[in-house]
Amino acid sequence: MTIWISEQEAAQRLLEADNILLLAHQYPDGDTLGSNFALYQALKTLGKTVRVACEDVVPEKYDYMDATADMEDFEPDYICALDVADAKLLGPGMQATYGERVDLCIDHHSTNTGYATESCVDASCAACAMIILRIIRLLGVELTPAIAQCIYTGIATDSGCFKYSNADALAHRMAAECMDLGIPYEMINRVNFDMKSRARIELERLALDGMEFYHDGRVAVMTISNEMVARSGAKENDMEGLPPIPRQIEGVWVGITLRQKADGSYKISARTGTHADASAICVLLGGGGHNRAAGCAFDGSVEEAKAAVLKAVEQAVPRIVTG
Amino acid sequence: MTIWISEQEAAQRLLEADNILLLAHQYPDGDTLGSNFALYQALKTLGKTVRVACEDVVPEKYDYMDATADMEDFEPDYICALDVADAKLLGPGMQATYGERVDLCIDHHSTNTGYATESCVDASCAACAMIILRIIRLLGVELTPAIAQCIYTGIATDSGCFKYSNADALAHRMAAECMDLGIPYEMINRVNFDMKSRARIELERLALDGMEFYHDGRVAVMTISNEMVARSGAKENDMEGLPPIPRQIEGVWVGITLRQKADGSYKISARTGTHADASAICVLLGGGGHNRAAGCAFDGSVEEAKAAVLKAVEQAVPRIVTG
């Protein structure tokens, strides 16, 4: 079992370490990348040898904070995973190489499995980047615009641009602190929340066409098949931000997105409001996440996936059947 | 001409006045309503006789901050318009009755026409509600959750839930201050940004189908005809938040929305990024607004409206033709 440590202790470990490998999760998003690139820069300022690694290529839209180009290769002495709730979320390659060797995990998921030797988890934070901001302060490193834009990206992306329930006063204040340094937040918001390719718009249209409703419209299920992706011309970086769509429909308590993966299996995402706990649903299918946003994997046909997730919804949210 | 006054002077006028009529603009949005209902409550606390008036019925989704039910009728001695840049934006009825009698206008539009006897305008504020928050402080009224949720609504709705360029550090800090009072921001964000009726989704699909692109995709024009509205079954409260859609498409500098009104004429909305000034475009057609979001009216056929707005775009943003 892991040892749960404070942010002060986490900062102390990082100050004592060198040749540090930072790890992002597979299918990297703004928070895991923002956390990694922010801490990377802070540790470089302290003269450390540092590198960020990720199973997947960093999507182009995050180029503005990507510092991987300058990174040197080295054999790490200290391995730190950021925003990675479970070793298997590192992705198969990274898990095989580093999954058993993570010295420290810094995370904001209440479902963190404690796979690291030591874990610093604060599930009250909207984004892992908020914990990283505090740890950077504890490291004694001054915030720069380049660090601040990574932190801002993490907070903004994990809170749906301050729309979700996790976007509390602290999230707003930390964002404001980052903005005080003069970060290009307009560009950051545009690339993350306000820009869709024509292929993405076509994919959304196809997905909306096939939306299915259950339990008097309280459950909405949207399926994204490989065939739909091919037909729309959507690329991997057109695929983000689809899971919130079903729950945006009036009257929906639980929005489910079934996304087919290359191997034909499904990635299931659940989004909920105050009436249901997304994490409770996905835990029943071997996954996890947050109260309002959670996920799991499913190997089977789309019909089997739908049946399984509906059963899990009914079990986790009995009131959804009667209204 | 109007006399431009400070927030301190505006607060002083309100302290001295009684039997105060507050005015919202036609087609009321979260900022004009949030500003009105916040100031209404603050002035009530001071023992004033106050009323809020608006040409249109307050959309149902704003019920959570609506205090109109309790309002008494009286002949106003002091008339104050909030978030109303031009007397004609009061709507024909309100303009006829009060347009020439507005004692004070509190606003954040740089295009404010100065139609009131005195005007307190700060165009650096993302929302009129931010100015109202400061004026409420100057009135010596303590912020309550009921007032704070109105202010938060104004800031959040006029900044696209903190997504637009006007969502600066001050907007975030003022939102955080409101949230400190324990407002139901999750519900507010849900009804304003995250909830679409099925009819609305159908209308978006129809509108996306008919989207037209000009100048190598740098201009996108979306038309919402009365026929499309009827076909989708969309109601008036399904119509908000359509203008940002065209500019969300990758590569678009200027997003134009032509919305047909009941009388067949068009309301034109322009949305731009850093490459173009929306206000400069709409001013050419007799309208106005902000740098990134502006509007105007057009009486004519849809073809004439498109031709006129494209000509205005080319004139205001010459570089859009060559790229």
Q: State pLDDT tens for residues A281-304.
A: 999 999 988 899 999 999 999 999
- The strand pairing partners of B229, in sequence order, are none
Q: Which of B162, B169, B249 sits opposite A198 (nearest CB)?
A: B249
Tokens of B311: 């000509």
Task: Check: CB of residue A262 under 8 Å from CB of residue A299.
Answer: no
Q: What residues in A contact B247, CB-CB < 8 Å?
A: 194
Helix H or strand E encompassing A96: helix A92-98
Is 70 exceeded by the pLDDT of residue A69?
no
Q: Which regions of chain A does DSSP assign to beta strands (E)?
A: 3-4, 20-23, 50-53, 78-82, 104-107, 118-121, 212-214, 219-224, 254-260, 266-272, 288-289, 293-298
Average pLDDT in the A150-167 region? 96
Is B21 a residue whose pLDDT tops 70?
yes
CB distance A250–B172 less than 8 Å?
no
pLDDT of B66 > 90? The answer is no
Domain extents in chain B: 3-193, 198-322
User: Has residue A67 got a pLDDT over 70?
Assistant: no
pLDDT score at A208: 85
- Amino acid A141: pLDDT: 98
Structural domain B198-322, CATH architecture: Roll (3.10)
Q: Which pLDDT band holds residue B197 (cuts at 50, 70, 90)?
A: confident
CB neighbours of residue B205 within 10 Å = 15
Mean pLDDT on B77-84: 98
Contact between B249 and A195 using a beta-carbon 8 Å cutoff: yes
Mean pLDDT of the residues in chain B: 94
Contact indicator for B19, B44 with CB cutoff of 8 Å: no
Q: Is the pLDDT of residue B13 over 80?
A: yes
Q: Nearest residue on chain A to B204, judged by CA atoms? A: A205
Residue A237's pLDDT band, with cuts at 50, 70 and 90, is confident
pLDDT band, residue B94 (cuts 50/70/90): very high
> Looking at CA atoms only, how far is residue A273 from chain B in angstroms?
9
Q: Nearest Cβ partner of A194 from B163, B169, B185?
A: B163
State how far residue A216 is from chain B, nearest Cα, in angstroms: 13
Whether chain A has a CB inside 8 Å of the CB on B61: the answer is no
3-state SS class at A171: helix
Average pLDDT over residues A230-237: 89
Query: Is the per-residue pLDDT at B69 higher than 90?
Result: no
Q: Measured between CB atoms, does A164 come within 8 Å of chain B?
A: yes
- How distant is the Cα of B161 from the closest Cα of chain A, in angstroms? 6
Q: Do A249 and B161 touch (CB under 8 A)?
A: no
Of A161, A168, A173, which is closest to B163 when you measure between CB atoms? A161
Q: List pLDDT tens digits, range A167-183.
A: 999 999 999 999 999 99
The helix/strand count (H/E) of chain B reads as: 12, 12
Residue A64 amino acid letter: Y
Q: Which of A8-17, A27-36, B60-69, B77-86 has the lowest mean pLDDT?
A: B60-69
Question: CA-to-CA distance for B56 and A220, rounded, in angstroms?
Answer: 34
What are the structure tokens assigned to B271, written together? Answer: 């949305």
Q: How far apart are CA B17 and CA A321, in angstroms?
A: 55
Question: Which of A92-101, B52-61, B170-179 has the lowest average pLDDT?
Answer: B52-61
Full strand arrangement of the beta sheet holding B212-214: B212-214, B219-224, B254-260, B266-272, B293-298, B288-289
Which residue from A minimizes the CA distance to B194?
A248
> How sure is the predictor about A322, in pLDDT bands with cuts at 50, 70 and 90?
confident
* pLDDT at residue number A282: 96
The string of pLDDT tens digits covering residues A5-14 is 999 999 999 9
Among A residues 206-265, those touching chain B with beta carbons less than 8 Å apart:
208, 244, 247-250
Check A169 against B162: CB less than 8 A apart. no
Q: Which helix (H) or strand (E) element contains residue B118?
A: strand B118-121
B185–A contact, CB cutoff 8 A = yes
B238 or A295, higher pLDDT = A295
- Pair B221, B211: CB distance under 8 Å: yes
How far A39 CA sits from the closest chain B CA (Å)? 23
Q: Is the whole model's pTM more than 0.80, yes or no? A: yes
* pLDDT given for residue B166 in this prediction: 94
What pLDDT was estimated at residue A53? Answer: 95
Number of inter-chain CB pairs under 8 A, A vs B: 103
Q: In this complex, which of A156, A161, A196 lies closest to B249 when CB atoms are compared?
A: A196
Q: How confident is the model at residue A273 (pLDDT cuts 50, 70, 90)?
A: confident
Looking at the predicted structure, is the pLDDT value of residue A134 above 90?
yes
Lowest mean pLDDT across A37-41, B20-24, B68-72: B68-72
Q: Among A65-74, A188-197, A297-306, B87-96, which stretch is predicted with the lowest mean pLDDT?
A: A65-74
From A198's Cα to the closest Cα of chain B, the distance in A is 6
| Chain A closest-CA separation from residue B236 CA (Å) | 15
| A195: contact with B, CB 8 A cutoff | yes
Rounded Cα–Cα distance for residues B148 and B154 (Å): 10
pLDDT at B68: 66
Q: Give the mean model confidence (pLDDT) for residues B247-274.
A: 93
Mutual orientation of helices A145-158 and A185-193 as an angle, nearest 10°? 30
Q: Which candidate from A172, A175, A274 shows the least CB-CB separation from B186? A: A274
Correct CATH for A3-193 of 3.40.50.300, 3.30.420.40, 3.90.1640.10, 3.40.190.10: 3.90.1640.10
Interface test with A, best of B168, B183, B189 (most A CBs within 10 A): B189
What's the ipTM? Answer: 0.84
A64 touches chain B (CB under 8 A): no
